[in-house]
Amino acid sequence: MLDLHTHLWPHEPGTRLPSYDELGHWCERATAAGVQQLAVTEHSHRFDEIARVARASWTRDGSPALRAAADHVWDVEGGAHLDDYVELLTTAQRRGLPLLVGLEVDHLPGANDAVAEVLTAYPFDVLLGSVHWLGSWLFDAYDTPVFAAEWDSRSVDDVWSAYVDAVDDLARSGHVDVIAHADVIKVAGRRPADLAGFEDRLGAALARSDVAVEVSSAGWRKPINEPYPSMRLLQSLRDAGVPLTTASDAHRVEQLGYRFDELYAVLARLGIDTIATFERRSRCTFRAG
């Protein structure tokens, strides 16, 4: 089993890098959970080198309160350095730890090309692409009151439509290798009346791009309480031959390989017997299970 989406830090202030021994301990925990290889894919906004270019060119809308809340996220969670992060992971990899050098890259309209340019200087194995932001709205931060309130003031159809357009953009950009939590817009439990119509649009956008899509157990930790993507969307991706990865989106060591036995049972039920992994951004296949 492969866990290609994991984080070093929870969503709290502080970006202290682990030691090599700590990373080794995490790999041991992952192995104990049945995970043979993991990718460390920290959020792009936690790194000063990315924040500098992204915040200068990111096109944002939203109320002053929403913008202030967005700035607050970047201010309190930032501070890490990409050079140190990549050096730590490549060194650990060289010493034999079963991990990939990755990053979870936010879709930020206006800033995507500039961010991609910064990233070309580093030897990443895999770049995940994520839509968390619609303008200044961090829609999956449903436990932050200012972000949660937006769900009550917008039309669910408009929100889903904007989200699908953003994923389409990101998938076609060529900047990332995997679309993370492809239908995370469902996270807070708000679904449009024509859910199937939106899923069809999302599935078509993913199928015509050259990205892999992750199957993630993280949705089981959220109000929606189901994996990403939904069973229906996953079946359509399988039918279209879209490469798939598996992910826990762990933000704590105990979440590595979270409910992977159940996740891999879902894949087996759908007849999916190969998944994708990556080496220096080149996709390869791995036997599922």
Note the residues at the interface with Zn ion (CB under 5 A).
Answer: 104, 130, 249
CB distance 275 to 267 below 8 Å: yes
Helix (H) or strand (E) holding 244: strand 244-247
Considering beta carbons, is residue 130 or 209 the nearer one to Zn ion? 130
Q: Minimal distance in Å, beta carbon 161 to Zn ion? A: 20
Considering beta carbons, is residue 11 or 63 the nearer one to Zn ion? 11
Instruction: Identify whether 229 is preceded by a cis peptide bond (ω within 30 of 0).
Output: yes
Considering beta carbons, is residue 33 or 289 the nearer one to Zn ion? 33
3-state secondary structure 167-179: HHHHHHCCCCCEE
Residue 246 structure tokens: 């598996």
Considering beta carbons, is residue 130 or 217 the nearer one to Zn ion? 130
Q: Minimal distance in Å, beta carbon 222 to Zn ion? A: 11
Q: Minimal distance in Å, beta carbon 187 to Zn ion? A: 10
250 secondary structure, DSSP code: B
Considering beta carbons, is residue 12 or 21 the nearer one to Zn ion? 12
Determine whether 201 is exposed, middle or buried from the number of CB atoms within 10 Å of its CB (0-12, 13-18, 19+). middle
Considering beta carbons, is residue 190 or 200 the nearer one to Zn ion? 190
Q: Minimal distance in Å, beta carbon 4 to Zn ion? A: 11
Q: Minimal distance in Å, beta carbon 44 to Zn ion? A: 10
Considering beta carbons, is residue 130 or 246 the nearer one to Zn ion? 130
Q: Minimal distance in Å, beta carbon 67 to Zn ion? A: 21
Q: Minimal distance in Å, beta carbon 132 to Zn ion? A: 6
Q: Minimal distance in Å, beta carbon 15 to Zn ion? A: 15
Report d(CA 64, CA 75) in Å as an integer: 16
Considering beta carbons, is residue 33 or 131 the nearer one to Zn ion? 131
